[in-house]
């Protein structure tokens, strides 16, 4: 590990020691090294107080990141390194932050307050790994285990409940049984956590490699924030097109799509309206008429409650609304969708459809073949720079102004008429032909 430490980190350790203090890398960066990953961030712990750290690094840029809790950030050779004083903590009245923090000279005190064993290790280039709680062994065994009493850890900071699930999803680790039970027992504490922090953890959970297993196992925990998931559990769809209940289909479809936030959220919500729209016919076959529209409505309401950003809400809402709309493998159809959605969002819609179909009963070859044909035509449209938006027309608003049309709304209307005709292949997208058509429209 020593040889892999960035030089700025080594310099910080050496500088602290030259000032008479200790310095260890700690937490997630140590975990990442043991996982064979290159850490993105470096946190350190020291027996120096924040004031002593700032004095030690007076010749460097130092940011008072969270000085009340003992944290400052040192900027060195382009790397930002958070340095936190060893500390002990009192009760967490708000189930999120300690009421008071006391600084300590003992690194053991600092490690004992951390959430999971894999995050409760420290490392020094000369002294090696400090691992009081078996974190290295738990990483080797792919186990997530709380430090000490899991109920106490989660009551101290309820966000740790979601962090545990997120780590399980991201790393593919199993949650140790006592820790798992405490996650379920303490789940209602999540209502005390800010929705912004909840949303950030849920997004990372959804983008994990093991999200299907975590969602299916811990749905009652996640449902504290998204209660609409509970009616999906075990819901038999009673249709030959589906081999899974609604929640399992949803979980499989999430793993079928790229780990991009808005795509994973779209798959989570795409069938959330099914339980309320279920009917069955005289053959006892299930139907879900209007489920896309209801799913969209539920998704928007829930995403707003989670205070998600407008762009993500718009993307997810659109993908949920259109996920079940059939596509024709024709250029006319594809161009109309490109005009409506934009190229990136239409490509996202194709990805959503692939993920959805692939999570149904095996044998949907015809539907997959249609999507493949659509993708081929889409590539042709893009590579040949074919017109599907106003921007692609051979004439523009300035051309219409020079022809004496100066009303903005009228210019927009005429451009839309031209675009529709070009998409429908009734007009060639050439300047002369479009100008001639504009003259005909003016006469009308």
List pLDDT tens digits, range 80-133: 999 999 987 545 555 545 555 677 888 998 899 899 999 999 999 999 999 999
Q: Residue 400 is encoded by which pair of tokens?
A: 């219409």
Q: What is the mean pLDDT of residues 424-442?
A: 93
Percentage of the chain modeled with pLDDT above 90: 88
- Taking a C-beta distance cutoff of 8 angstroms, is the pair 270, 348 a contact? no
Q: What is the mean pLDDT of residues 286-303?
A: 97
- Taking a C-beta distance cutoff of 8 angstroms, is the pair 158, 190 a contact? yes
Concatenating the DSSP letter of every residue in 36-97 gives TPPPS-EEEEESS-HHHHHHHTTTSEEEEEEGGGTEEEEEETTEEEEEEE-EEE---TTSSS
pLDDT given at position 48? 93
Dihedral pair phi/psi, residue 79, rounded to 5°? -115, 135
pLDDT band at 18, cuts 50/70/90?
very high
Q: Residue 127 is encoded by which pair of tokens?
A: 């002294």
Q: Does CATH place domain 142-225 in 1.10.110.30?
A: yes
pLDDT band at 363, cuts 50/70/90?
confident
Nearest to 257 by CA among 316, 338, 195: 316
What are the percentages of helix, strand and coil residues in the chain, rounded to 5?
55, 10, 35
In angstroms, the CA 410 to CA 33 distance is 63
Residues 146-182 pLDDT 10s = 999 999 999 999 999 999 999 999 999 999 999 999 9
Q: What is the mean pLDDT of residues 209-228?
A: 98
Residues 252-261 pLDDT 10s = 999 999 999 9
Q: Residue 316 is encoded by which pair of tokens?
A: 């997810």
Structural class in CATH, domain 2-139: alpha beta
259-to-39, 199, 204, 309, 380 alpha-carbon distances in Å = 20, 16, 9, 18, 27
Nearest to 302 by CA among 278, 258, 325, 268: 268
DSSP label at 403? Answer: T
- Exposed/middle/buried for residue 2 (C-beta within 10 Å: 0-12, 13-18, 19+): exposed
The residue count of the chain comes to 444
Please name every residue paired with 72 in a beta bridge, in sequence order, or none if there are none: 83
Mean pLDDT of the chain, nearest integer: 93
- Taking a C-beta distance cutoff of 8 angstroms, is the pair 50, 74 a contact? no
Q: What is the mean pLDDT of residues 418-438?
A: 95
Q: What is the value of pTM for the model shown?
A: 0.91
């Amino acid at each position: 590990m020593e040889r892999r430490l960035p030089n700025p980190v080594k310099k910080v350790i050496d500088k602290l020691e030259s000032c008479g203090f200790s310095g260890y890398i700690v937490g997630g960066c140590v975990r990442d090294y043991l996982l064979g990953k290159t850490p993105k961030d470096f946190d350190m712990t020291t027996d120096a107080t924040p004031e002593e750290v700032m004095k030690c690094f007076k010749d460097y840029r130092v940011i008072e990141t969270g000085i009340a809790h003992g944290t400052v950030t040192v900027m060195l050779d382009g790397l930002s390194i958070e340095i936190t004083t060893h500390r002990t903590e009192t009760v967490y009245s708000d189930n999120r932050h300690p009421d008071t923090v006391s600084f300590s000279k003992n690194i053991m005190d600092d490690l004992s307050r951390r959430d999971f064993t894999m995050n409760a290790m420290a490392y020094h280039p000369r002294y090696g790994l400090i691992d009081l709680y078996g974190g290295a062994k738990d990483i080797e065994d792919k186990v997530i285990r709380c430090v000490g009493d899991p109920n106490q850890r989660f009551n101290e900071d309820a966000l740790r409940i979601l962090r545990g699930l997120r780590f399980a999803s991201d790393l593919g680790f199993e949650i140790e049984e006592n820790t798992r039970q405490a996650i379920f027992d303490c789940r209602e504490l999540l209502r005390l956590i800010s929705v912004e922090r909840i949303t950030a953890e849920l997004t990372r959970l959804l983008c994990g490699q093991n999200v299907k297993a975590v969602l299916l196992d811990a749905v009652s925990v996640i449902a504290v924030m998204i209660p609409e998931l509970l009616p999906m559990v075990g819901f038999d769809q009673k249709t030959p097109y589906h081999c899974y209940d609604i929640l399992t289909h949803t979980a499989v479809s999430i793993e079928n799509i790229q780990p991009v936030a808005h795509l994973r959220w779209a798959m989570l919500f795409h069938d959330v309206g099914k339980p309320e729209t279920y009917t069955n016919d005289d053959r006892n076959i299930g139907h879900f008429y209007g489920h896309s529209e209801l799913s969209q409505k539920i998704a928007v309401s829930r995403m707003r409650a989670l205070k998600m950003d407008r762009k993500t809400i718009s993307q997810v809402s659109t993908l949920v609304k259109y996920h079940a709309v059939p596509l024709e493998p024709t250029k006319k159809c594809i161009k109309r969708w490109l005009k409506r959605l934009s190229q990136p969002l239409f490509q996202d819609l194709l990805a959503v459809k692939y993920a959805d179909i692939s999570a149904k009963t095996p044998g949907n070859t015809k539907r997959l073949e249609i999507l493949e044909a659509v993708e081929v035509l889409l590539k042709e449209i893009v590579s040949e720079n074919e017109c599907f938006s106003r921007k692609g027309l051979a004439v523009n608003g300035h051309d219409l102004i020079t022809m004496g049309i100066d009303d903005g709304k009228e210019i927009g209307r005429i451009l839309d008429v031209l675009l529709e005709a070009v998409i429908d292949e009734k007009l060639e997208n050439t300047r002369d032909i479009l100008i001639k058509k504009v003259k005909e429209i003016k006469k009308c």
